């Protein structure tokens, strides 16, 4: 009987002690996905993540649009990190077309990308805070990220979904007097997020809830192919801004934050430390950026690649490495476009981390993965 059923519908017989629980997709604690957990009393014995509720076929859509009209929809999977979401695609198209980007445009991209990383991380921190029942940690990041959203609005005209990166540079130059405003906002932002330590990261209640829960060892982090803050919280020093620098990152002084514990607390602290580092990078970039010059190479209408070709470009986004594999067959549309996103790669760790944990620890483990369901589904 079960052999006739299509995959996924097979009925599984479990022990009578075990209760199967569907967390999501409507449950607010699960994001836009379902987590099927099997519990024995209060302890999770098995967990099966079931994403796909917000799958919208970005990869299929990309095959029907040309290299320029692909820009706005490819940032949709993660709208508050939209510059980083577009970054690998734009780098890949530039390599396909053989375009050199002006230096000022590269600096503008780095600034936008770091601002977006902070905007994303603040949003994630707000969610992480509220699901641990810490409403101050919801209100403060949700309010403070407005500082940086204002900056991005000045640059691109939109609060989210900027569509600011284009093959050949960025869409517009920075507005006049931007450097001073940016420096002031970023300095204030840095001062604000340092205050989070007192209410959140040094809070004994948070530490008692997250320390030693969901421990991912260094070996497992590597074996499972996790990325970004999850990987760095498990003691692996790997950040693409340092390891495979793109644009002008190799001229900037970038430090990575690595913690050895690999528990929920470390995974929640690394993105916060990354934000402080982002502030440093923005200040350096503002200082080193050429004060004038072109920010965009004009492309010919309907740019196309040179015959059968493929590129794989990756950048460090707010959720880890974000790769874009473009196969071109010399037409104006990509033949195939594949996004390899950090959220999807980190999801594989969830069943391992939840096994043996208490059900009450599920939100702290799940959200500490720096996971964005919409991006994982694409």
Structure tokens at 69: 């009209």
Per CB under 8 A, 251 contacts another protein: yes
Whether the bond between 288 and the residue before it is cis, its omega within 30 degrees of 0, is no
Q: Binders of another protein among 32-51, rule CB under 8 A?
A: 50-51
Exposure b/e, 178-195, CB count within 10 A at least 16 = b: beeebeebbeebbeebee
**Backbone φ/ψ region at 275: left (φ over 0), alpha (ψ -120 to 50), beta:** alpha
From the list 12-20, 152-160, 231-239, 355-363, the region that binds another protein by CB under 8 A is: 231-239
Residue among 190 and 220 whose Cβ is closer to another protein: 220
Task: Provide the minimum distance between the beta carbon of 345 and another protein in the complex, in angstroms, as a whole number.
Answer: 7
Q: What is the CA radius of gyration of the chain?
A: 21
Q: Which of 90, 166, 345, 372 binds another protein (CB under 8 A)?
A: 345
Q: Does 312 bind another protein (CB under 8 A)?
A: yes
Residues 6+ apart with CB under 8 A from 160: 79, 80, 82, 149
Torsion angle of C-alpha atoms 250, 255, 256, 258, degrees rounded to 10: 150
Q: Hey, which residues between 269 and 308 contact another protein (CB under 8 A)?
A: 288, 290-293
Total binding residues for another protein by CB under 8 A? 47
Q: Which residue has the tokens 């003691």?
A: 235
CB 53 to another protein: min, Å: 9
Considering the complex, state which of residue 263 and residue 377 has its C-beta at the smaller distance from another protein. 377
What residues from 64 to 83 belong to the interface with another protein (CB under 8 A)?
Answer: 64
In the complex, the smallest distance separating the C-beta of residue 61 from another protein, rounded to whole angstroms, is: 7
Kindly indicate which of the ranges 5-13, 19-27, 138-146, 173-181 contains the residues binding another protein, using the contact rule CB under 8 A: 5-13
Binding mask 208-227 for another protein (x = CB under 8 A): --------------xxxx-x
Provide, rounded to whole angstroms, the least separation between the CB of residue 269 and another protein.
20
The minimum distance between CB 291 and another protein, in angstroms, equals 6
- If the CB atoms of residues 163 and 348 are measured against another protein, the closer one turns out to be 348
Neighbours of 86 (CB within 10 A): 28
Q: Note whether 183 and 283 are within 8 A (CB).
A: yes
Structure tokens at 143: 């309010």
**Of 53 and 201, which CB lies nearer to another protein in the complex structure?**
53
Looking at the Cβ atoms of 160 and 311, the one nearer to another protein is 311
- Backbone φ and ψ for 137, nearest 5 degrees, come out as -75, -5
Q: Are 364 and 354 in contact (CB under 8 A)?
A: no
Query: Per residue in 3-27, is it b (16+ CB within 10 Å) or e — as a string?
Result: eeeeeeeeeeeeeeeeeeeebbbee
Q: Would you say 123 or 249 has its CB closer to another protein?
A: 249
3-state secondary structure of 266: helix
| Binding of another protein by 178 (CB under 8 A) | no
Which parts of this chain interact with another protein (CB under 8 A)? 6-9, 50-52, 55, 57, 59-61, 64, 103, 222-225, 227, 231, 236, 238, 243-244, 250-251, 288, 290-293, 310, 312, 314, 321, 323, 325, 327, 335-336, 338, 340, 344-345, 347-348, 377
């Amino acid at each position: 009987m079960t052999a006739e059923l299509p995959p996924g519908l097979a009925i599984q017989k479990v022990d009578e002690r075990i209760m199967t629980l569907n967390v999501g997709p409507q449950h607010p604690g699960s994001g836009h996905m379902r987590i099927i957990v099997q519990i024995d009393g209060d302890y999770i014995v098995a967990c099966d993540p079931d994403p796909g509720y917000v799958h919208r076929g970005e990869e299929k859509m990309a095959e029907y649009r040309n290299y320029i009209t692909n820009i706005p929809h490819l940032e949709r999977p993660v709208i508050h990190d939209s510059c980083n979401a577009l970054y690998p695609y734009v780098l890949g198209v530039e390599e396909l077309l053989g375009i050199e980007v002006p230096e000022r445009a590269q600096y503008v991209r780095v600034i936008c990308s770091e601002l977006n990383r902070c905007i994303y991380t603040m949003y994630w921190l707000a969610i992480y805070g509220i699901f641990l029942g810490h409403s101050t940690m919801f209100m403060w990041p949700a309010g403070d990220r407005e500082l940086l959203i204002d900056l991005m609005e000045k640059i691109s005209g939109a609060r989210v979904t900027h569509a600011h990166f284009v093959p050949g540079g960025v869409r517009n130059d920075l507005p006049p007097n931007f450097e001073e405003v940016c420096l002031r906002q970023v300095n204030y932002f840095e001062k604000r997020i340092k205050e989070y330590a007192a209410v959140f990261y040094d809070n004994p209640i948070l530490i008692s809830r997250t320390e030693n829960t969901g421990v991912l060892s260094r070996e497992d982090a590597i074996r499972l192919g996790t990325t970004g803050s999850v990987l760095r919280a498990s003691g692996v020093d790997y950040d693409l801004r340092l390891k495979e620098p793109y644009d002008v990152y190799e001229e900037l002084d970038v430090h990575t934050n690595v913690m050895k514990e690999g528990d929920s607390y470390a995974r929640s602290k690394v993105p916060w430390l990354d934000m402080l580092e982002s502030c440093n990078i923005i200040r350096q970039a503002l200082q080193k950026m050429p004060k004038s010059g072109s920010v965009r190479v004009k492309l010919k209408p309907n740019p196309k690649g040179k015959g059968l070709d493929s590129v794989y470009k990756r950048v460090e986004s707010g959720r880890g490495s974000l790769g874009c594999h473009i196969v071109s067959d010399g037409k104006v549309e990509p033949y195939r476009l594949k996004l390899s996103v950090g959220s999807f790669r980190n999801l594989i760790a969830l069943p391992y981390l939840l096994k043996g944990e208490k059900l009450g620890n599920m939100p702290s483990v799940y959200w500490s993965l720096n996971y964005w369901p919409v991006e994982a589904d694409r």
